Amino acid sequence: MNTTHRSTWLALMLLTLLLAACGLNAAPTTTNSGASAPSAAEPSATPAPDPSPITQPSPSTAATNSTPAPASGSALDAISAAYKASVAAKSYHVASTITSGGMTSIVTTFDIMLPNRLHRTSAINGKTSESIIIDATTYSRANGSEWMKSTDSTGTLDILKQIGADAATIDELTKHITDATLIGPDTLDGKPMMVYQYALTFKVNDAGAESSSITKMWVGNDSLPYKLESDGSTNITGKTTTSHTVNIYSDYNADFKIVAPIP
């Protein structure tokens, strides 16, 4: 795992902390290749474990058009409640862009179907990778090549913990939030939102590397987060790197179908 990418995600959010932990900088290591496998959206003629294709979900119910009222309690309570509401959803979609040094370096999407299915696509410096993880089995490919299957890789539950789609992870990382503030009302794609801001600082490793960020969160009437925008910096061995990350969330509780692309 790329340490810089990992720290960027942790600083960005408590929900999808560190998409890089899922291998943003490279296609996952795999074994047992599948011959002449089609794309995930077009399953092989040989029936896969689940014959249903991977499909895009229907849009989830949008937040109502009234302006959200600030949540009761502190801004930190509202931020924590929004993250917890997202983990309680059965499914959601995340589209993420990380920009570093003025150049877009990582573009990633996640379809997450709790408790045990995940579909990830990423593009880094012109190279693409895609993974489908179902329980302890990973199907992956790079640059549109044939699918590869691995059964000795990190399972879905471990990945969900790494990216923050896990209540215990959120509880732990919330302890590092400071300066939680209510910014006020805004709109996002025509929908009313309430915007919060917080700071996050933590140690990246035992060698003293540290990451810090300022993050804004757009929360809808349903108490779910719909956008996170973060500016962060990480100091590793005396070298500081900065990044700007935008995460857009959608399709909460949509009917995703994430299935094995090869037997």
What average pLDDT does the structure give for the chain? 75
| Element at 193 (helix H, strand E) | strand 191-203
> What are the Cα distances from residue 51, in Å, to 43, 67, 127, 150, 219?
7, 43, 29, 19, 37
> What are the Cα distances from residue 194, in Å, to 63, 182, 197, 215, 220?
12, 8, 10, 14, 6
Alpha carbons 21 and 254: distance in angstroms, whole number: 25
pLDDT, average across residues 122-147? 92
Classify domain 3-27+49-250 at the CATH topology level: outer membrane lipoprotein receptor (LolB), chain A (2.50.20)
pLDDT, average across residues 25-51? 36
Alpha carbons 149 and 205: distance in angstroms, whole number: 32
Judge whether residue 50 has pLDDT over 60. no
Domain ranges in the chain?
3-27+49-250
Tokens read off for 81: 């409640």
Judge whether residue 64 has pLDDT over 70. no
Q: What is the pLDDT of residue 208?
A: 65
Q: What is the pLDDT of residue 115?
A: 83
Judge whether residue 261 has pLDDT over 60. yes
SS3 string, 199-234, reads EEEEECCCCCCEEEEEEEEEECCCCCEEEEEEEEEE
* 8 Å CB contact between 196 and 78: yes
- Between residues 201 and 27, the one the model is more confident about: 201
**What are all long-range contacts of 38-41, with beta carbons under 8 Å and residues at least 24 apart?**
38/261, 39/144, 39/261, 40/119, 40/130, 40/132, 40/139, 40/147, 40/261
Judged on CB neighbours under 10 Å (0-12, 13-18, 19+), 72 is exposed
Alpha carbons 102 and 251: distance in angstroms, whole number: 30
Judge whether residue 249 has pLDDT over 70. yes
Please tell me the pTM assigned to this model: 0.72
Alpha carbons 26 and 28: distance in angstroms, whole number: 6
167 backbone dihedrals φ, ψ, rounded to 5°: -60, -40
Strand order across the beta sheet in which 137-142 lies: 31-33, 148-150, 137-142, 127-134, 117-124, 103-113, 91-100, 239-250, 225-236, 210-219, 191-203, 177-188
